[in-house]
Chains A and B, each alone.
Chain A
């Protein structure tokens, strides 16, 4: 089975302190460290497990600048067979639809049976998977937490729905699935693993290679525009406890007691 996994390089919230910049148009990115989007990591792990079970190959693809190569390489260290970077100045500022259009062009160049994306990105809006499926006119399932390959043309897919319930679908291949965390336990990528793939070539495909008109993607082609970026004002009933950890804990316990949360 030929599997394509779409991944994204994002600032990991657990390793960064997110602050809005002075203009309020973006977050402070100076001291950021980046990693692969957490959901995508699960998607790659799932793809590798499927490949190890039924054969085929796993390709990872990312839309981004040359620095995104780092995450493509990391997922190759994890076990993906091929990596592709989609990079062009024209891609900069793309909205979800733009990214989906770029990925669609890449998918059409290949011969994939299954496309996996993360359910969402730490800094995203959870749009790309669905749009990609629509543009390809392929079936789509979101928030997938179970995959079983039935035969060359069919898979069984599980989704977690509200209240912890589970639903199961049978889907035709090729299709697009957006993967929820918890579907598996992604393997660890060691420094040695990354070094082993350091010299592997990762082809870069530009707008020209993909046959995309620069005007249809990037800032020019974006149908949405970010107006503002801010930390919401404290509303009524919300409070941020301040002080040392111990003081915060004491106050929290006090509050919970007072409101009847604990006895």
Chain B
């Protein structure tokens, strides 16, 4: 059968057989692309080890759910849907692009398995895909140029706007799909003119429009358009391919592996160096991340993968209160630095200390490790481990803010950041009723359950009340419990997360000994930081649970009953502590515990609850740090509760209590808003027989 138009493989351009271009363009494109990718892999090869092949089935499932399934995208509905359309389009059109490249070499080429009906179906599907992608790109352009969502803005200190990059890429995608529409449309237009049978034209699709409009043009023009559109597609495609690894669109290539290699265990912190046991740490030349190559290869892949979508910083409490930290720019700055350090041409520059050149000290200390950024990132970029690694480097260099040096030294000497005497660690129990005896486990006392109190509850005047409420609750629930007393040390949760690993290990070892010596079979704590430390940072100790779980068990088994709520007029809201919620997925136990009190009215801080909870300001050592900030995180949080219409904030963390009570006072909301710990609320309402 005579073809309506000469295919690109058989056509000539300026008297030269076009097939030569069809060969040269892909070869050059793939060549440049391979060179850039090799360059990008260079620092990763030099980077620190990071084993990420464990639990492959789990990884594969998560990659399907989060990368292919784009599970986190609709958390931002508009951008999410646009992205899902463009992404699905990319997946469908990838086959089309390969086919097109081959069509330039051999006319009528079809991919294996695409010759029959499946090929027909695919062509229909891809026409849909192209049209949807075109539409989604136009909407995206409108958002980028006209709407300009706040989270894309680049503050002056971080450089210039990145909008051009987004717009350029959208134009490239638009170019790709319209070129194919013209390529096929010109063919179909010629076929219509000559009365040939056309391919299936999906009504209202781009190709359909093109075919019908172009069918009025002379066949010669259509022939030029056909070949012109083909080579435009070819050029855009290979330009785009090589442009990807030069900026934020690298994620098109890296996102699947980045999600596959994601951190699987939340709440944990990576070891100082993978493959080096605790005993071998003394042998290490240097600790933490000081220069770029100290990052692990996966953390470098994170930098490459950042799509600059701004969701991390949009949810970062430190960023929200004007601290000098924006997780997005940790990634962008490090990525830009690595591109500069490993340039496309010329020599790479010498090693530089990241802090002071790429990142700032205050930026690194500003993080409360709340995990909001990681919870939001559609690509599972990690921030906490990087921040901790950078802090390890700072600690190793002695670059620790003066405000943190004193509490760290006090923890070293006394086992608590306040520098209080060890022998007074159990003094909080003295204000319990005379006949209420809290056992000190070890040589003298024994019990099944160990209540791990930790420093803030042991020594802080206000928080000691939480300790006493916990003790009374455990007693009322019929749980045989005791404490470690003077043998207890700070759990070291923040010590580890502030980068003082060796001090943490000392605390952990002492506590582990004391816990094992206590003979307890299980551990309960009312402090989510302690809970996370014992659960995720310690090894070989009895199982640990947060007291919210203990409450639920006691209620379920009927060991605890409640009287009706004391103040039925009050409206309660629950503030999710970061280390209970995001880091340990405990969202429902505390809520169910509150709801177990008859007559209690509880509302949610919609949009700011559960995994989108807003950090109160941080716990442990963060209480001592003096950040540069415009206002306190706690104040923002209290405002959220007020906006939601609540007048009592229930939390389940001693540090949240300190920060929120402080924020209520500094916001001038005394009388309007109050804070209570979950265990205090429970203890106040339990019926004691």
Contact yes or no, A14 B398, CB < 8 A: no
Q: Chain B nearest CB: distance from A152 CB in Å?
A: 28
Contact among B396, B419, B461 for A190, CB-based, below 8 A: B396
Contact yes or no, B502 A192, CB < 8 A: yes
B contact face: mostly helix, strand, loop, or mixed:
helix
Contact yes or no, A244 B414, CB < 8 A: no
Query: What is the CA–CA distance of A15 and B413 in the complex, to the nearest angstrom?
Result: 8
Q: Chain B nearest CB: distance from A212 CB in Å?
A: 33
Chain B residue nearest in CB terms to A79: B398
Question: In the assembled complex, which residues on chain B have CB atoms less than 8 Å from the CB atom of A196?
Answer: 282
Contact yes or no, B398 A191, CB < 8 A: no
Contact yes or no, A191 B400, CB < 8 A: no
Contact among B282, B399, B405, B412 for A192, CB-based, below 8 A: B282
Question: In the assembled complex, which residues on chain A have CB atoms less than 8 Å from the CB atom of B410?
Answer: 14-15
Residue A236 at the chain B interface, CB threshold 8 Å: no
Contact yes or no, A15 B287, CB < 8 A: no
Chain A residue nearest in CB terms to B422: A31
Residue B409 at the chain A interface, CB threshold 8 Å: yes
Residue A33 at the chain B interface, CB threshold 8 Å: yes
Query: What is the CA–CA distance of A33 and B409 in the complex, to the nearest angstrom?
Result: 11
Q: Chain A nearest CB: distance from B25 CB in Å?
A: 56
Interface residues of A in 102-129 (CB under 8 A from B): none
Contact yes or no, B412 A191, CB < 8 A: yes
Contact yes or no, B503 A190, CB < 8 A: yes
Interface residues of A in 43-63 (CB under 8 A from B): none
Question: In the assembled complex, which residues on chain B have CB atoms less than 8 Å from the CB atom of A33?
Answer: 413-414
Query: What is the CA–CA distance of A244 and B412 in the complex, to the nearest angstrom?
Result: 28
Q: Chain A nearest CB: distance from B534 CB in Å?
A: 21
Chain B residue nearest in CB terms to A13: B419
Interface readout for A24-47 with B: 1 if CB under 8 Å, 0 if not? Answer: 000000010101000000000000
Contact yes or no, A17 B421, CB < 8 A: yes
Residue B565 at the chain A interface, CB threshold 8 Å: no
Query: What is the CA–CA distance of A17 and B409 in the complex, to the nearest angstrom?
Result: 16
Residue A158 at the chain B interface, CB threshold 8 Å: no
Contact yes or no, A245 B461, CB < 8 A: yes
Contact yes or no, B396 A244, CB < 8 A: no
Query: What is the CA–CA distance of A76 and B410 in the complex, to the nearest angstrom?
Result: 20
Contact yes or no, B502 A244, CB < 8 A: no
Q: Chain B nearest CB: distance from A11 CB in Å?
A: 10
Query: What is the CA–CA distance of A185 and B398 in the complex, to the nearest angstrom?
Result: 10
Chain B residue nearest in CB terms to A36: B409
Query: What is the CA–CA distance of A195 and B502 in the complex, to the nearest angstrom?
Result: 10
Number of interface residues of B (CB under 8 A): 30
- Interface contacts (Cβ under 8 Å), in number, total 64
Interface residues of A in 152-194 (CB under 8 A from B): 185-193
Contact among A12, A31, A78 for B423, CB-based, below 8 A: A31
Residue B118 at the chain A interface, CB threshold 8 Å: no
Q: Chain B nearest CB: distance from A30 CB in Å?
A: 10
Number of interface residues of A (CB under 8 A): 23
Contact yes or no, B419 A12, CB < 8 A: yes
Question: In the assembled complex, which residues on chain A have CB atoms less than 8 Å from the CB atom of B398?
Answer: 78-79, 187-190, 193
Residue B352 at the chain A interface, CB threshold 8 Å: no
Query: What is the CA–CA distance of A245 and B460 in the complex, to the nearest angstrom?
Result: 11
Chain A residue nearest in CB terms to B499: A190
Chain B residue nearest in CB terms to A185: B402
Residue B281 at the chain A interface, CB threshold 8 Å: yes
Q: Chain B nearest CB: distance from A91 CB in Å?
A: 25
Question: In the assembled complex, which residues on chain A have CB atoms less than 8 Å from the CB atom of B184?
Answer: none
Q: Chain A nearest CB: distance from B300 CB in Å?
A: 25
Q: Chain B nearest CB: distance from A6 CB in Å?
A: 21
Question: In the assembled complex, which residues on chain B have CB atoms less than 8 Å from the CB atom of A17?
Answer: 421
Contact yes or no, B414 A191, CB < 8 A: no
Query: What is the CA–CA distance of A189 and B400 in the complex, to the nearest angstrom?
Result: 9
Contact yes or no, A14 B405, CB < 8 A: no
Question: In the assembled complex, which residues on chain A have CB atoms less than 8 Å from the CB atom of B395?
Answer: 188, 190
Query: What is the CA–CA distance of A31 and B425 in the complex, to the nearest angstrom?
Result: 14
- Are A14 and B500 CB-contacts (below 8 A) given A188-B400, A190-B396, A191-B506? no
Query: What is the CA–CA distance of A191 and B281 in the complex, to the nearest angstrom?
Result: 12
Contact yes or no, A187 B399, CB < 8 A: yes
Question: In the assembled complex, which residues on chain B have CB atoms less than 8 Å from the CB atom of A190?
Answer: 287, 395-396, 398, 500, 502-503
Query: What is the CA–CA distance of A78 and B400 in the complex, to the nearest angstrom?
Result: 13
Query: What is the CA–CA distance of A111 and B67 in the complex, to the nearest angstrom?
Result: 68
Contact yes or no, B396 A192, CB < 8 A: yes
Contact among B408, B423, B501 for A188, CB-based, below 8 A: B408
Contact yes or no, A35 B413, CB < 8 A: yes
Question: In the assembled complex, which residues on chain A have CB atoms less than 8 Å from the CB atom of B419?
Answer: 12, 14-16
Query: What is the CA–CA distance of A78 and B281 in the complex, to the nearest angstrom?
Result: 19
Query: What is the CA–CA distance of A190 and B421 in the complex, to the nearest angstrom?
Result: 22
Contact yes or no, B399 A188, CB < 8 A: yes
Contact among A14, A15, A79, A191 for B503, CB-based, below 8 A: A191
Could you name 27 residue pairs across A and B whose Cβ atoms are closer than 8 Å? A14-B406, A15-B419, A16-B419, A16-B421, A17-B421, A31-B421, A31-B423, A33-B413, A185-B402, A186-B405, A187-B398, A187-B399, A188-B395, A188-B399, A188-B404, A189-B398, A190-B287, A190-B395, A190-B502, A190-B503, A191-B412, A191-B500, A192-B282, A192-B287, A192-B501, A245-B461, A245-B462
Q: Given contacts A186-B405, A187-B397, list 5 more A-B pairs with CB under 8 A.
A: A15-B410, A15-B414, A187-B399, A189-B398, A190-B502
B: which residues have CB within 8 A of A? 281-282, 287, 395-400, 402, 404-406, 408-410, 412-414, 419, 421-423, 461-462, 500-503, 506
A: which residues have CB within 8 A of B? 12, 14-17, 31, 33, 35, 78-79, 185-193, 195-196, 244-245
Q: Lowest 10 CB-CB distances: which A-B pairs, in order?
A: A187-B398, A188-B400, A15-B419, A191-B502, A33-B413, A192-B502, A188-B398, A191-B503, A190-B395, A14-B419
